[in-house]
Structure 1
Amino acid sequence: MSPIRLSDLAFTLEAVLDNAFGQKPIWVVAETSDIKNYPDRGYCFLTLVEREDGPSGRHETLAKLDACIWRRNYHTIRDFETATGVAFARNVKLLLLVSVGFSPVYGLRLEILKIDPSYTLGNLERERQEVLDTLVRDYPDLVWLEAGQYITANQLLPRPAVLQRLALIAAPGSDGWRDFRHELAANPYGYTFSVDEYLTQVQGKGAEQAICQQLETIRLSSTPYDAVVLVRGGGSQLDFGSFDTLLMGLTVAGFDIPILAGIGHERNVSITDMMCHQSVKTPTKAAGFLIEHNRQFEESCLRLLDRMGVVARDVLQNAREELDMQTDRLRFVSYNYLRDRHTELTEKAVTIRHLDPANVLRRGYALLLRQGRIVTKAAEVRQSETLQVQLHDGTITVVS
Structure 2
Amino acid sequence: MSPLRLSDLAFTLDAVIDEAFGQKAVWVVAETSDIKNYPDRGYCFLTLVERDANGRDTLAKLDACIWRKNYHAIGDFERATGVAFARNIQLLLLVSVSFSPVYGLRLEILKIDPSYTLGNLERERQTVLDTLVKNHPDLVWLEDGQYITANQLLPRPAVIQRVALITAPNSDGWRDFRHELTQNPFGYDFVVDEYLTQVQGQGAERAICGQLERIRTSSVGYDAVVIVRGGGSQLDFGSFDSYLMGEAVAGFGIPILAGIGHERNVSITDLLCHESVKTPTKAAGFLIEHNRKFEETCLQLRDRLRVVTRDALQTAREELDRETERLRFVSQTYFRECHTNLTEKAVTLRHLDPSNVLRRGYALLLRNGRILTQASSVQPDEMLEVQMRDGTIPIKVRQS
TM-score, normalising length: structure 2:
0.96
Q: Tell me which amino acid in the other structure corresponds to 2:257.
A: L
1:128 equivalent in alignment to 2:125: yes
1:325 equivalent in alignment to 2:313: no
Taking a change above 3 Å as real, the CA distance of residues 38 and 393 of structure 1, as seen in their structure-2 partners, is same
Secondary structure at the aligned position of 1:161 is classed as coil
Count residues in correspondence.
397
Aligned to 1:35: 35
Question: Could you tell me how far 1:335 is from its partner in structure 2?
Answer: 1.1
Question: Could you tell me how far 1:384 is from its partner in structure 2?
Answer: 4.5
Deviations 1:273-324 (A, max 9, x none): 0010000000000000000000111111111122222222222222222222
Summarize the alignment of residues 34-183 of structure 1 with structure 2, pairs less than 5 Å apart. 34-54=34-54, 59-183=56-180
- Tell me whether 158-167 or 318-327 shows the greater mean CA deviation: 318-327
1:353 equivalent in alignment to 2:357: no
Of 291, 308, 311, the residue aligned with 2:308 is 311
Deviations 1:316-343 (A, max 9, x none): 2222222222222221111111111111
Tell me, in whole angstroms, the C-alpha distance in 1 between the residues paired with 2:113 and 2:106.
Answer: 20
Secondary structure at the aligned position of 1:204 is classed as coil
Tell me, in whole angstroms, the C-alpha distance in 1 between the residues paired with 2:40 and 2:379.
Answer: 161
Q: Tell me which amino acid in the other structure corresponds to 2:148.
A: I
Question: Could you tell me how far 1:111 is from its partner in structure 2?
Answer: 0.4
Tell me, in whole angstroms, the C-alpha distance in 2 between the residues paired with 1:236 and 1:218.
Answer: 28
Of 234, 237, 252, the residue aligned with 1:237 is 234
Deviations 1:18-38 (A, max 9, x none): 011100100000000000001
Of 272, 276, 279, the residue aligned with 1:279 is 276
- Unmatched segments (≥5 aa) in structure 2: none
Taking a change above 3 Å as real, the CA distance of residues 186 and 361 of structure 1, as seen in their structure-2 partners, is same
Secondary structure at the aligned position of 1:53 is classed as coil
Tell me, in whole angstroms, the C-alpha distance in 2 between the residues paired with 1:10 and 1:35.
Answer: 27
Taking a change above 3 Å as real, the CA distance of residues 386 and 115 of structure 1, as seen in their structure-2 partners, is closer
Aligned to 2:341: 344
Secondary structure at the aligned position of 2:261 is classed as coil
Secondary structure at the aligned position of 2:220 is classed as coil
Secondary structure at the aligned position of 1:59 is classed as coil
Secondary structure at the aligned position of 1:32 is classed as strand
Tell me, in whole angstroms, the C-alpha distance in 1 between the residues paired with 2:371 and 2:234.
Answer: 130
Deviations 1:44-86 (A, max 9, x none): 00000000135xxx51100000000001111111111111111
Deviations 1:340-368 (A, max 9, x none): 11111111111111111111111111122
- Tell me whether 3-12 or 314-323 shows the greater mean CA deviation: 314-323
Tell me, in whole angstroms, the C-alpha distance in 1 between the residues paired with 2:82 and 2:367.
Answer: 138
Tell me, in whole angstroms, the C-alpha distance in 2 between the residues paired with 1:15 and 1:98.
Answer: 18
Question: Could you tell me how far 1:212 is from its partner in structure 2?
Answer: 0.9
Q: Runs of at least 4 residues of structure 1 off by over 4 A?
A: none
Secondary structure at the aligned position of 2:52 is classed as strand
1:257 equivalent in alignment to 2:241: no
1:267 equivalent in alignment to 2:264: yes
Q: Tell me which amino acid in the other structure corresponds to 1:31.
A: E
Question: Could you tell me how far 1:4 is from its partner in structure 2?
Answer: 2.1
Tell me, in whole angstroms, the C-alpha distance in 1 between the residues paired with 2:68 and 2:287.
Answer: 48
Question: Could you tell me how far 1:386 is from its partner in structure 2?
Answer: 4.3
Taking a change above 3 Å as real, the CA distance of residues 352 and 80 of structure 1, as seen in their structure-2 partners, is same
Secondary structure at the aligned position of 1:266 is classed as coil
Aligned to 2:195: 198
Of 341, 364, 367, the residue aligned with 1:367 is 364
Taking only aligned residues, the RMSD between alpha carbons, in angstroms, comes to: 1.3
Tell me, in whole angstroms, the C-alpha distance in 1 between the residues paired with 2:198 and 2:365.
Answer: 130
Tell me, in whole angstroms, the C-alpha distance in 1 between the residues paired with 2:85 and 2:8.
Answer: 38
Secondary structure at the aligned position of 1:36 is classed as strand
Deviations 1:189-214 (A, max 9, x none): 10000000011111122211111111
Taking a change above 3 Å as real, the CA distance of residues 391 and 129 of structure 1, as seen in their structure-2 partners, is same
- Unmatched segments (≥5 aa) in structure 1: none
Tell me, in whole angstroms, the C-alpha distance in 1 between the residues paired with 2:312 and 2:113.
Answer: 74
Question: Could you tell me how far 1:375 is from its partner in structure 2?
Answer: 2.8
Deviations 1:210-238 (A, max 9, x none): 11111111112131111110000000011
Q: Tell me which amino acid in the other structure corresponds to 1:243.
A: F
Secondary structure at the aligned position of 1:40 is classed as coil
Tell me, in whole angstroms, the C-alpha distance in 2 between the residues paired with 1:380 and 1:150.
Answer: 117
